[in-house]
Structure 1
């Protein structure tokens, strides 16, 4: 650490990253092995509270990455640890020349810039609750302190989200705007952008097929379930109001987290926007009761209208027997009610049983001589879809009875 007013050059952080690895090897026996990785969030919180100040300083100095990503640890501690780890990660990536490292380094620098700049007038402060370069990268950022806030929302992004400039400039803004909007409706609210899993990427070679299957969502669902357990354990309120929001493939990830025994820890409301299905056929299967499940589906969002897997298989096969007409006919055989999408029952359908909220239509799929899929990405933009943002803000603020509704499909 440098004294106030002194800069730390990149080369120093690169050396620090290497030194940290050496210190970890020496400290493994009495520090790393004592970190309660397999404990519950509540047990981790109690473990941290029981350490002396000297012990805490040791852990933060030697293992900022492990402490910063340990669910159940107070957010102020995680933020301090992750800010240090952010510098170490940038130092490590500085010494590499591959495209993946360059992409992640640019995103880390932008996150670091935002953290250093601090909040503008009317904006909540940022808390860095997780950071890492594994896989497609990890970043968990809260706008507002989730330990102190009475209302907490966590947003899970979907397809093509990774640790890049799009995430650092776009997905983080979504949580910031949601927090600002929710704070207008009463008790302080914190909004979190959670990139704690490898969302599918496209194009990505054969791995592009990951968006069509459940594997990434199942893995991410387990991690998100644990993270929300940590948020609940660290919150100072006896019963904080918590909301989980899933967009696109992220809705399938939230749906997976909700299918764990007891649902998602602490979560009272679930919101799906731009969803291709969530892995269940009824809102009753998500652990919060159907009256607490909300769905936004823009009229021009093609992702919310993807055919079911069975329809797709039979439809493709039927093309060989006479073209599109038989394909539609065979598709209707497996989806007579026309309310199935790729990952199960359409969440916006009457049969699913959730509350459909008003959102903007978004631009048409075909317009001005080109294909436009922006209707899938505007749910969080207060300039392009204020109805969606205000409805999610009301739900986050515990005032779901005030949302504007749409009729289910």
Structure 2
């Protein structure tokens, strides 16, 4: 906790701090209003997959912008509370110092009284030194509380400027194809044998329905194109080779994940054989994260993965990342968990339990990155509160936005260790 001295408080300008805090709070309110106005703008007259993708992309960006504005407003209010306390402390200490000097006593930087006269006037000493010490202590406590608020709500990602590629419906190149297998289709994009990283995407509910593989192919092609624009060589495999739940009722059951788990392990072993030096990055989206988590439950049959990313997870059975049984080329798998702002899936899982197990974004799970919720309990609870606010404002389809969210793209393409 920061300590303050008498000279620092007397020289402080609380009116400047109050003005800056008010400006930040007002800016935060304006950003939130702009986010709401943009979010309420519908792309009328444009229909189809491309229109839905573009709308999801806009919603994802405006939700993050709204979170940024809310964080700025809260930081402004915290700053205003500190400025008010600083004004009170400054007034109190100024009066006490003036009273001390009136009777020939000086006040030290820490608030204690100096000089021989102070020792012979205990009542005067108590009446002057007490308020000064109390004011310094209160100021330090409010400063610590304000800093905690800023640290908690300030752990928010602003929409990345100029990093994400504009979304356009991709035209499939010769290296993007859909192969039919006895268990379901598998999408391939990029050169598996030459890629530095192979991302396996396991989708969730409705991913066995007609058109699902084509949507994954578009996602895969977009990731490959984005990586190439950044000088990366990747390949993407959209693994649909399991019978995915067709509705929320069956999605509440682990049956599909248990049946799919051994086949996913076999598929990852196949990729390792095709390209032994590539970084294998297994990404489970929605119920797909349940499949990935289940595939990593067997100590005797580990999942081949150098990286594991959970997107919008309804929970995993492992209580901690160390309980995931994986096989990485360097012996340690990197684990990440991402929830986009406003994702309703957060209502199905909590740090201690959930529909399919614990929330991998919770601080206790131990993932290296839990964007955007952060590693602290304060940040985690703040973002869950913001999720509820976004849902209450009417956005109930953010769970579908992951394939189109530029921040998710950046996270998936970020190089591992």
TM-score (norm 1): 0.51
Pick the aligned partner of 1:209 from 240, 249, 262. 249
RMSD: 2.8
Mapping 1:90-129, distance limit 5 Å: 120=171, 125-129=175-179
The aligned length equals: 231
Distance 1:233 1:356, change over 3 A: same
Mapping 1:5-404, distance limit 5 Å: 120=171, 125-132=175-182, 138-165=184-211, 167-202=212-247, 209-235=249-275, 238-261=276-299, 264-288=302-326, 292-307=334-349, 339-358=352-371, 364-367=390-393, 372-381=395-404, 385-394=405-414, 399-400=415-416
- Structure 2 portions without partners, runs of 5+: 1-169, 374-385
CA contact (8 A) 1:127 1:144 kept: no
Query: Which structure's residues are more often helix, by fraction?
Result: 2
Q: Give secondary structure in 1 for the equivalent of 2:259.
A: helix
Deviation string, structure 1 residues 96-130 (Cα, Å, up to 9, x no partner): xxxxxxxxxxxxxxxxxxxxxxx849x57214343
CA contact (8 A) 1:273 1:295 kept: yes
Q: Give secondary structure in 2 for the equivalent of 1:390.
A: helix
Shift of 1:292: 0.5
CA contact (8 A) 2:281 2:305 kept: yes
Distance 1:170 1:209, change over 3 A: same
Residue in 2 that maps onto 1:45: none
Shift of 1:177: 1.7
Distance 1:290 1:147, change over 3 A: closer
Shift of 1:262: 5.8
Shift of 1:249: 0.6
Q: Give secondary structure in 1 for the equivalent of 2:223.
A: helix
What is the alpha-carbon distance in structure 2 between the residues aligned to residue 378 and residue 359 of structure 1?
15
CA contact (8 A) 2:188 2:236 kept: yes
Shift of 1:227: 0.8
Higher Cα Rg, which structure = 2
Deviation string, structure 1 residues 140-163 (Cα, Å, up to 9, x no partner): 011012123221010000012123
CA contact (8 A) 1:142 1:190 kept: yes
Distance 1:242 1:186, change over 3 A: farther
What is the alpha-carbon distance in structure 2 between the residues aligned to residue 277 and residue 185 of structure 1?
32
Shift of 1:352: 0.5
What is the alpha-carbon distance in structure 1 between the residues aligned to residue 224 and residue 280 of structure 2?
13
What is the alpha-carbon distance in structure 1 between the residues aligned to residue 410 and residue 223 of structure 2?
8
Residue in 2 that maps onto 1:104: none
Distance 1:179 1:263, change over 3 A: farther
Distance 1:285 1:233, change over 3 A: same
What is the alpha-carbon distance in structure 1 between the residues aligned to residue 174 and residue 309 of structure 2?
22
What is the alpha-carbon distance in structure 2 between the residues aligned to residue 264 and residue 173 of structure 1?
30
Q: Give secondary structure in 2 for the equivalent of 1:356.
A: coil
Q: Give secondary structure in 2 for the equivalent of 1:174.
A: helix
Distance 1:278 1:130, change over 3 A: farther
What is the alpha-carbon distance in structure 2 between the residues aligned to residue 174 and residue 279 of structure 1?
27
Shift of 1:255: 0.7
